């Protein structure tokens, strides 16, 4: 099945041909992509941003296999990541002999998100801050002409269908990255979906804790805050995320998350009225994220989630569980 057009970083455009996880021959795929990356980059250098998710981790290993030291890998600390994420990612890749530069851009991201409540405007603010400002600056300083990126087919589909504008999809929106940001984009995972990327990551040597990791969206915890994204609101959802990920780790679910609502509700604490905040828990069964159903969690698990979120996350007076399937719901809330 064809999924629209894609450039190869050299101004040529071709159709995207899906490769299902079942069809994927990892050895041949790695060999082809390594060659393609080498041909595209030539004698120049490339750069990639590693977030620690399955897609960017896989693309980092693939890129280093192709380019070695000519690929510079950075972790952009946008302030929107999960607890302890930068340290965890850096030490994991150190074990592969891949150095990762951490760039602190927290202030820039929060400034760009200030006052924005519309979901698509949030995505746009994050996109612009990431690609144009922070990454644009890093690329310029590094002298790299190519950006290696872990876009997958589901990102393209959802953008083309107008469901959600994925932060890392450009060509399909008619944006020429070289014109807009000054660098070409190489997307070696674009024919795959999540299950294919996991298979590829495993073949490249990613540890199970990484290739089996649940998906995490590009806009990070900002995709899980309804309404304005502030450092304080991110901290609330970050704490709740810690509880949810710890308690649901062994469910085998495709993805699970905590969401901070915008509406406040009346609660009571120590015998007094408390107009507090609400956390919604979502836990999904899915194969490829195109459709999904809420996991039938045992009620004792739900009770445990509520008890620990109420105990560990200041200001929360309500915890709910999402029970609508995708579609018409989507997995993330923003
Ligand atoms: P949705 O919410 O579209 O998510 O059902 C489908 C899968 O894609 C992951 N994902 C993203 N979702 N913006 C999103 O809204 C992004 O930039 C993004 N990147 C990845 C999402 O977590 C779910 O697994």
Peptide bond into 276 cis (omega under 30): no
* pLDDT value, residue 210: 84
Maximum pairwise Cα distance, the chain: 69
Q: Is the pLDDT of residue 273 over 60?
A: yes
Q: Is 330 in the pocket of ligand 1 (CB under 6 A)?
A: yes
What is the spatial distance between Cα 170 and Cα 219, in angstroms, rounded to a whole number?
A: 15
What does the mean pLDDT of the chain come to? 91
Query: Tokens standing for 25?
Result: 């021959």
Atom of ligand 1 nearest to the CA of 166: 17
What is the spatial distance between Cα 67 and Cα 3, in angstroms, rounded to a whole number?
A: 28
Q: Residue 17's beta-bridge partner residues? A: 2
Q: Is 9 in the pocket of ligand 1 (CB under 6 A)?
A: no
- Which residue has the least CA distance to atom 22 on ligand 1? 217
In sequence order, what are the residues at sequence separation of 6 or more whose Cβ sits closer than 8 angstroms to the Cβ of residue 136?
181, 182
Between the CA of 216 and the centroid of ligand 1 the distance, in Å, is 7
User: Ligand 1 pocket test: which of 332, 333, 334 has the largest number of ligand atoms within 8 Å of its C-beta?
Assistant: 332
CA neighbor of 285 nearest in space, from 248, 242, 239: 248
Q: Is 184 in the pocket of ligand 1 (CB under 6 A)?
A: no
Angle made by CA atoms 175, 176, 182, in degrees to the nearest 5:
125
What is the spatial distance between Cα 152 and Cα 312, in angstroms, rounded to a whole number?
A: 35
Q: Which of 37-41, 288-292, 298-302 is the least confident region?
A: 288-292
Mean pLDDT across 57-62: 97
Atom of ligand 1 nearest to the CA of 154: 8
* pLDDT value, residue 8: 45
* pLDDT value, residue 298: 98
């Amino acid at each position: 099945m064809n999924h629209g057009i894609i450039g190869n970083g050299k101004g040529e455009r071709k159709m995207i041909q899906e490769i299902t996880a079942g069809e994927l021959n990892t050895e041949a795929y790695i060999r082809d992509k390594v060659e393609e990356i080498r041909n595209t980059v030539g004698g120049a250098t490339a750069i990639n941003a590693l977030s620690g998710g399955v897609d960017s981790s896989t693309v980092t290993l693939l890129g280093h296999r192709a380019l070695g030291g000519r690929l510079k890998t950075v972790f952009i600390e946008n302030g929107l990541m999960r607890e302890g994420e930068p340290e965890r990612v850096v030490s994991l890749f150190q074990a592969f002999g891949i150095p990762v530069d951490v760039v602190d851009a927290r202030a820039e991201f929060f400034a760009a998100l200030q006052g924005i409540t519309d979901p698509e405007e949030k995505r746009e603010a994050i996109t612009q801050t990431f690609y144009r400002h922070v990454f644009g600056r890093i690329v310029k300083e590094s002298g790299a002409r190519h950006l290696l990126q872990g876009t997958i087919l589901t990102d393209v589909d959802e953008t083309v269908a107008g469901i959600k504008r994925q932060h890392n999809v450009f060509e399909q929106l008619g944006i020429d990255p070289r014109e807009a940001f000054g660098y070409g984009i190489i997307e070696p995972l674009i024919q795959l979906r999540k299950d294919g990327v996991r298979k590829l990551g495993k073949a490249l040597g990613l540890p199970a804790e990484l290739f089996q990791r649940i998906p995490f969206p590009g806009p990070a915890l900002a995709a899980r805050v309804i309404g304005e994204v502030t450092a304080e609101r991110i901290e609330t959802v970050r704490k709740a995320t810690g509880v949810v990920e710890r308690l649901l780790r062994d469910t085998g679910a495709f993805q699970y998350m905590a969401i901070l609502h915008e509406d406040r509700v009346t609660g009571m604490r120590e015998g007094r009225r408390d107009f507090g905040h609400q956390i919604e828990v979502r836990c999904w069964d899915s194969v490829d994220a195109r459709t999904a159903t809420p996991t039938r969690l045992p009620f004792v698990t739900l009770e445990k989630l509520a008890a620990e979120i109420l105990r560990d996350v200041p200001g929360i007076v309500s915890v709910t569980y999402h029970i609508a399937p995708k579609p018409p719901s989507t997995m993330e809330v923003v």
